Every structure is written in structure tokens, then in C-alpha cells.
Amino acid sequence: MKREHLIAPSVLAADFRNLSKDFEMVNQSEADWFHIDIMDGRFVPNISFGLSLMPAIKDLAQKPLDVHLMIEQPELYVEEFAKQGADILTVHAEACPHLHRNIQQIKSLGVKAGVAINPGTPIQLIEDVLEEVDLICMMSVNPGFGGQKFIYRTLHKITELRKKCDERNLNPFIEVDGGVGLQNAESIVKAGADVLVAGSSVFKSNNPIQTIEQLKNITPFNITL
């Protein structure tokens, strides 16, 4: 079966002096979602931006908002993010002692629920919520910063996760986040990813529209005869 993969440019790498220009570029491109990175300076060693930027983001974006919460106690904030227009809310398994409850809370808000795991976290940690989630975000860098190098071990984890989902007849989006670009996108899709998050490789490109197009049009090879 041939699966189409999605591209989600990460706004963290956009030019904050000129957000409307970068959003317009993504609106005009073949990208599918906007990836919005929220960092609290506690779960991750960096602070990005928070709820107060959401109205501007919502106004500028003409595509779904994939909100990646790299924060502690996400249960305190998910409702407001949903109200502000998030379409997908992803929490980190490592930050959620009550992960199942957090996922149910997100779904009760009428948005899609995602769970993310860090490169050092085994996929076994999310085994028991696979049935519950709409998206699984496999971090391929340690979260906190854009522009880092892809950790290649993640490819094995993607393959393993895809196999598990197939065995259990589940079809959540498998998203890969961190260090994704033209140099590795094909192997990532081949390993079983559905969504490629790309920050620096898109926004630092000389021709972002073309880079998105190239990421989107990687030859599909998941073909069973």
C-alpha cells in the first residue's frame, strides 16, 4: 500500500521579524500542517513562545495547527490551546505521569491527541496508549532547540513502531521531529513515517517552497505487490 506523507514546517525556525511572510510562504506551498513548538524552560532547557502568540498564528495560518507541547503539566494548558485553535495537541510521555488521562482530556476538547517520546525513551513507554492516540511524535533530536543533527537510531524506532501499529491494526500518524531535511527524508519515510516536521531545512533554505515540494515528493516506495 502506498501512503502519502505530510510535511509540517516548524515555525520555530521562521523569521519572527516577519512572521506573516513566512506563514504566507507555507500557506502557498505544498506543506500540510504548521508545527508549533511550545517550550517551557522546565521540561526542556529553552523557552520558545506561549499562548499569547496563538491568536496571531491562528490568523496567519491557513492550514491545521500541530501543536507540540514540550511542557510540564500540560493538563493546565491544553484547554486554552484548544480554544485558541490547535488542531492537534501533542504531549510528552516523559512529562505525563498520567498519560492516559492527559490523552483523554485532549480528546474531550474535540482536538486530535498526540504523544511524543524523546530519542532516549523506548517505544515501550507508549505501548498502552497506542489505541488512544491520533499521532505519535518520534523525536529525532533532544527537544529544546531547532537546527540539531538527526539521531539515526530513531530510524529503528520508527520501523519498530510502524510494525507494532500494523500488527494491532492501528493507524495513528507517525511523525518525526528534529533534524529532518532532504538528506534523510527518504529513509525516514521508508522507515514508516507519515509526517515530517522540518524547521531549519525549510526556513533556512534559499528556496523554501521548492524544499517543501521536494520533501513532499520523495518517491513513495511503500508498495506491496
Single out the residue of 8, 34, 68, 134 in contact with Zn ion (rule: CB under 5 A). 68
Looking at residues 35 to 94 of the shown chain, list those that interact with ligand DX5 (rule: CB under 6 A).
35, 37, 68
The residue with its CB nearest to Zn ion is 68
- Alpha-carbon gap, residue 18 to 179, rounded angstroms: 23
37 catalytic per annotation: yes
The residue with its CB nearest to ligand DX5 is 199
197 part of the interface to ligand DX5, by CB under 6 A: yes
Q: Give the list of residues 6+ apart from residue 173 with CB closer than 8 angstroms, or none.
A: 6, 114, 134, 135, 136, 194, 195
Specify the DSSP class assigned to residue 175.
E
Choose one: 19-27, 120-128, 155-163, 199-207; the region binding ligand DX5 (CB under 6 A): 199-207
59 catalytic per annotation: no
Min dist CB 1 to ligand DX5, Å, is 28
Looking at residues 22 to 41 of the shown chain, list those that interact with Zn ion (rule: CB under 5 A).
37
Q: How far apart are the first and last CA of the chain?
A: 8
* Residue 79 near residue 106, CB atoms below 8 Å: no
Min dist CB 175 to ligand DX5, Å, is 10
Angle 11-47-209 from CA coordinates, rounded to 5°:
10
147 part of the interface to ligand DX5, by CB under 6 A: yes
Alpha helix stretches (DSSP H) within the chain: 19-28, 54-60, 78-83, 99-108, 154-167, 185-191, 200-203, 208-216
180 part of the interface to ligand DX5, by CB under 6 A: yes
Q: What is the binding site for Zn ion (CB under 5 A)?
A: 37, 68, 177
Provide the annotated active-site residues. Answer: 37, 177
